Structure 1
């Protein structure tokens, strides 16, 4: 802990304050931290004056940061310390051509040339012209067969490839390959004028518009010394909870459909639309675009909007309770949900699962409680009663979060505070040579943005982490020793983001 600097969520610090230690110390510090119930928030590389540097932001009950200089090869933390570093090190290798020596499964993440133009570290084991064309993990045996699904799927769905190694119907191993719609957002942002940032951040993952834009706005507020009045914080918090409810409701409907229980699937689908409409009441857009901006919100919530939301919640809450009772009391549903796609608590900790996927495995972490922003410090926390790590647990946690979010919004609507005035995206004077990290509990889990500015106050490095970056490996593990026909149900119980991962 001596090498780690304690920091605060959303509070900018000078880059000179970040401890810079030799890589050997960096390795030992992070190894010890994660083995003592520590988790990774951010771990990334950047180049400065021809030198490669690494930064890690880690958490337990507090946030810490540490940095190090590295050469083109460094000892892999994944291979020696923890699986929690697995995706982060693969991303570093792809983005900067730095090789984590000893990484157990080093392969491409998003299929793009590294940022520096250096020779790649993947030993030409893939074809740049055909994404996904590289050696997959295989299991040998007379009765083993392989099933390849995607990246093009039947239906309106984003692209992703799933490679199953099976013995009969039993899945022995699932390998997931994404990156087919990589847009280069992290590399793009530092090249753009600030007025373009909100539109880009709102599009990182369309179903997580509020969470990602909130992280961006709070980061700029920290770097520019901007404050947000309580009225704007109330609107931001309500918007984030409406986004959470809409997505959880939609996924409970999809889970109903996956087990051929059509009445709740239809009800949930209709109810999801009600919450998207409430986001439109609040922001003018059904996905919350155009609302959150550095310094506040772009639309003031007046008494008319407040009353519309209050009335709709009073009307629809009993309906949600009834349709949830219908779904969770059906024996046929429980027979399919329970003991399907189980990830044990230890495995979830080893992987560093976040959000409802982690809470369903007994990892109580919720960024709204651990690192509260906006109004969350004054609001009650949620509790989870079913944490067996299976589809039933993930569905039940979602149900609990829906009911909890409804209560939070009702409490916030009772406040008489209102924002002073709307704000729009304007050029912000950012602190030079500074560093900030923001964390919010999006509906899938921990969303984090990290910004480094240079000596001219320009954004030098913009790092984004969607919760799906942690949780796709959890989906792969949940298919171990399951029937391949369980994949749609397991997949929907996570409902992870392709574009949030692909960036």
Structure 2
């Protein structure tokens, strides 16, 4: 057997994952799986194993709701044929493996650095020496933006190659604030410490990464969350989606000079995040999601406030959204701007909104449902044009959808349940995987334990890992003045990428 097929939030013995020769490993993951439209790679990584590198590849089959896991053991500095030659969606995974271990992929198009981690294989590589793509021409010029930006945005460098005002090429360099957060999951031994780390992977996705971690940890401990825990997590995920989508619509209005939309959408975001403050004491939902327990169970009073919040929000939201999507000056900047075609989106392996905007049905809530998404029977919002307008309309429709979900969920909330936390321990010599559809897209957490159940590897993938290249492709042949609205329409994470 070339693989073992498991479900989302499932734990298996590491010995149950078939170990293939590298040639068979490549053949299976590229030829057998990736060429199918229903399959995509949710994680591919390596970790030290008996003086060598153990590679684990996780391919999700969206139609069958399964994840196919296979592995191979290679020398750390082996000369290997690349997956990327056959499927570009693997390019960043293999660049990361090369950066971490020195593994050479002989036919990879460009093994440039991904993150510049502190424990990278080649410590002589510096972020200041990043090898940007060049086009030699007297008619072209380069424009550099960042890494220092105004306001609170995190560091990232954008290098444009332009012909006059037209963008021919954009390269995005990240890795300026690599925090070593995956390593910290191994060094911190207490569950609370690891939960806090998960909450801080990306500040706008506290609930999303928090749910991914606790679902994985409960799976490792053979703990099955009751409905009240799953319900609180599902509501938190959908409220986070409403809040961030609303804030993004505000920012998109700002970038096209629509001040009224910017102000009203910005105001509407505030009561949603303030509800988290009332629920758990933090506007970003820190402290809310915990493995095996809920320190802040929903009460009748909280349900009443949430119902009133949604009623008040929806009326004003529909009014300003109707104005936004009928205003010619807004539509002129949104429509046919920043297009990513379906072929491009599939080629680079986009996830979440960045896939659905181009007609790709990729949404963990329907393909690999977790928590109470089984009950909701989620149907993804799909657009076809792949432009800024599609990304804006998708946010609007997903907000409407999330409001419906929350209203449905709060009709049946168990009262007065409390938990004392997990009593079990992580399974030894095991592998676990958790997939969550955050507001930005697919999040994947993987863990490997040793013979006593201690973590030996923890792997995090934020959707931004896939989607930054979509931003770079979107701006080609656009005016450089359209870059802010293109960039904000994706709203990708620097820290989620840099970890």
Same-fold status (TM-score > 0.5): yes
Q: Secondary structure at the match of 1:165?
A: strand
Question: Is this contact kept in 2: 1:435–1:451, CA < 8 A?
Answer: yes
Q: Which moved more, 1:166-175 or 1:296-305?
A: 296-305
Partner of 1:48: 49
Partner of 1:392: 389
1:385, distance to aligned residue in structure 2 (A): 5.6
Distance in 1 between residues matched to 2:344 and 2:419, nearest whole Å: 46
**Structure 1 portions without partners, runs of 5+:** none
Q: Does 1:73 align with 2:78?
A: yes
Partner of 2:298: 301
Q: How does 1:348-497 map to 2 (within 5 A)?
A: 348-384=345-381, 386-418=383-415, 420-423=417-420, 428-497=424-493
Q: Does 1:317 align with 2:314?
A: yes
Distance in 2 between residues matched to 1:418 and 1:29, nearest whole Å: 49
Partner of 1:272: 269
Distance in 1 between residues matched to 2:425 and 2:481, nearest whole Å: 54
Distance in 2 between residues matched to 1:322 and 1:423, nearest whole Å: 45
Partner of 2:131: 135
Q: Does 1:172 align with 2:176?
A: no
Partner of 1:261: 258
Deviations 1:424-457 (A, max 9, x none): 5x67511000001000100000011000000011
1:316, distance to aligned residue in structure 2 (A): 1.4
Distance in 2 between residues matched to 1:258 and 1:78, nearest whole Å: 39
Question: Is this contact kept in 2: 1:174–1:479, CA < 8 A?
Answer: yes
1:101, distance to aligned residue in structure 2 (A): 2.2
Q: Secondary structure at the match of 1:297?
A: coil
Partner of 2:7: 8
1:348, distance to aligned residue in structure 2 (A): 0.2
Partner of 1:238: 235
- Alpha carbons of 1:136 and 1:392: their partners in 2 closer, same or farther (altered >3 Å)? same
- Alpha carbons of 1:78 and 1:153: their partners in 2 closer, same or farther (altered >3 Å)? farther
Q: Does 1:101 align with 2:101?
A: no
Task: Select which of 87, 91, 100 maps to 2:92.
Answer: 87
**Structure 2 portions without partners, runs of 5+:** none
- Alpha carbons of 1:286 and 1:96: their partners in 2 closer, same or farther (altered >3 Å)? same
1:97, distance to aligned residue in structure 2 (A): 2.1
Q: Does 1:341 align with 2:338?
A: yes
Q: Secondary structure at the match of 2:487?
A: helix
Question: Is this contact kept in 1: 2:360–2:382, CA < 8 A?
Answer: no
Ranges of 4+ aligned residues in structure 1 off by more than 6 Å:
none
Distance in 2 between residues matched to 1:119 and 1:407, nearest whole Å: 51
Question: Is this contact kept in 2: 1:42–1:56, CA < 8 A?
Answer: yes
Partner of 1:196: 193
- Alpha carbons of 1:132 and 1:35: their partners in 2 closer, same or farther (altered >3 Å)? farther
